[in-house]
Amino acid sequence: MPINEFVTIQQVLEILNRMIEEDPWAVNDLINQRVVCGKKLADDPTVQVGIKHKGENSTTYEVGLLGVLNGLFGIDSDGWGAIAAVYSVTCKACSSNQPVSTKVGDPCTRCGAETVLGDLLKFEQVRPLPAKNEWILEKTKDGVILKPPPTMPSELADAMISQAHKKLSSHTEETYCAFCQKAFPLDGTAAEAVTEHIKTCEKHPMRAAEAKIKELEDENAELLKKLFPKARKA
Ligand SMILES: [Zn+2]
Ligand SMILES: [Zn+2]
């Protein structure tokens, strides 16, 4: 395989699962291996770091290979990454493997003893990729931010953002005629100006009604003229 510039989650899963086939014990040890790390790394925006010990005054953190791999692919809005390690649940007392639905700590289905985490079985993707061209809501330390789709060129994303800003600020500075979209500055006179405009707005439905009234009045006058040719207008 040549050297890749890009790698997908699926490709990483393929490699990790191939590694399990090649040597399950080594991969088990490798994934279970954790290194103590500082708060700065624990606060990394995408790398997943676990809490090793939560003391009253200080907390110690640890990072492992899976946290780093997940860090490459970013996190979902809930803060979790895409790749999960799936383990079996097992009973130490009678060394029987438990059904897939068993949670660690549940009683053993055979002897009733407390179950523990078993072997690493496989890696799988637990979070879908965002749809193409979909803007992504991302949770950060400073709150939720909206990020452009990864496939979108940054110039296009910037243009869309500045256009949205323009539109937003125009909505706070101006109001519009709902019929012809004519803009009015949102000062103290906006309501009056719109009311005045509505009376003459070409697109307002009243114009059609007025035209119809005019047409009917003319028709009426014609008929009256025919019926009473001699009658004079008062
Ligand atoms: Zn058991
Ligand atoms: Zn109008």
Q: How do residues 154-208 score in pLDDT, each as one tens digit?
A: 888 899 889 888 888 887 888 889 899 898 888 888 889 999 999 999 999 999 9
Q: Are 59 and 51 in contact (CB under 8 A)?
A: yes
Instruction: Tell me how far the alpha carbon of residue 87 lies from the centroid of ligand 1, in angstroms.
Output: 17
Instruction: Tell me how far the alpha carbon of residue 155 lies from the centroid of ligand 2, in angstroms.
Output: 35
DSSP for 108-173?
Answer: PTTT-PBEEEEEEEEEEE-SPPPPTT--EEEEETTEEEEE--TTS-HHHHHHHHHHHHHHHHHHHH
Q: Which ligand is nearest to the CA of 114?
A: 1
Instruction: Tell me how far the alpha carbon of residue 167 lies from the centroid of ligand 2, in angstroms.
Output: 19
Instruction: Tell me how far the alpha carbon of residue 127 lies from the centroid of ligand 1, in angstroms.
Output: 33
Instruction: Tell me how far the alpha carbon of residue 148 lies from the centroid of ligand 1, in angstroms.
Output: 51
Q: How do residues 24-67 score in pLDDT, each as one tens digit?
A: 999 999 999 999 999 999 999 889 999 988 988 889 999 999 99
Answer yes or no: is pLDDT of 234 > 60: no
The residues, ordered by sequence, that sit 6+ positions from 199 with a Cβ below 8 Å of its Cβ are 206
Instruction: Tell me how far the alpha carbon of residue 199 lies from the centroid of ligand 2, in angstroms.
Output: 9
Instruction: Tell me how far the alpha carbon of residue 108 lies from the centroid of ligand 1, in angstroms.
Output: 5
Q: How much of the chain exceeds pLDDT 70, in percent? A: 97
Q: Which ligand is nearest to the CA of 98?
A: 1
Q: How do residues 88-144 score in pLDDT, each as one tens digit?
A: 999 989 988 888 888 889 999 999 999 999 889 999 998 877 776 778 888 788 888
Instruction: Tell me how far the alpha carbon of residue 191 lies from the centroid of ligand 2, in angstroms.
Output: 13
